[in-house]
Amino acid sequence: MWLQPIAYRGRVVACASATRVFLADELRRRPDGDPELRFVLFMCCCARDVMTGELPGRYSDANARAYARAALIPDELMERPLADPRRTARALSVPVDELLQACDAHQALPSDETGSGW
């Protein structure tokens, strides 16, 4: 079994295989719906999709973050400026810095492109 380390915010927070996820104790103890836990679990899904061939190429934490943002943050939300990013992040149960990163990435796209940037 191959284990893919998942790094977030400068530390390894999980390992993922094609069928299992192993969380660091800090994340494992968090309640369901915790924004960072939820985000990391979607990064683990990206690792799984790479290992099973659903996604091409090799795993990278940067691509896994883009994958998690695309899964958790609706594109439609990025079409206008956010009045209250903290409130929006709380409603979506995502880390506020990831919401802001998604906004920045969306604004950097040419006006005729849509999608997550993955």
What pLDDT is recorded for position 115?
52
Percent of the chain beyond pLDDT 70? Answer: 91
Residue 46 counted as domain residue: yes
Residue 100 domain flag: yes
Structural domain contains residue 113 = no
**Residue whose token pair is 């956010």:** 82
Residues of the chain above pLDDT 90, percent: 77
pLDDT tens across 102-114, in order? Answer: 988 887 767 655 5
Helix (H, G, I), strand (E, B) or coil at 115: coil
Spatial distance between the Cα atoms of 75 and 114, rounded to a whole number of angstroms: 8
Look at residue 117 and tell me if it is in a domain: no
| In a domain? residue 79 | yes
| Count of domains for the chain | 1
- Domain residues for the domain of 85 are 4-108
CA distance 3 to 72: 24
Looking at residue 109, its pLDDT comes to 67
Q: List C-alpha distances in Å: 29 to 22, 23, 32, 70.
A: 12, 9, 9, 25
Structural domain includes residue 71:
yes
Average pLDDT over residues 79-83: 85
> Looking at the domain assignment, is residue 115 inside a domain?
no
pLDDT over 60 (residue 4): yes
Residue 61 lies in a domain: yes
- Please indicate, yes or no, whether the overall pTM of this predicted structure exceeds 0.85: yes
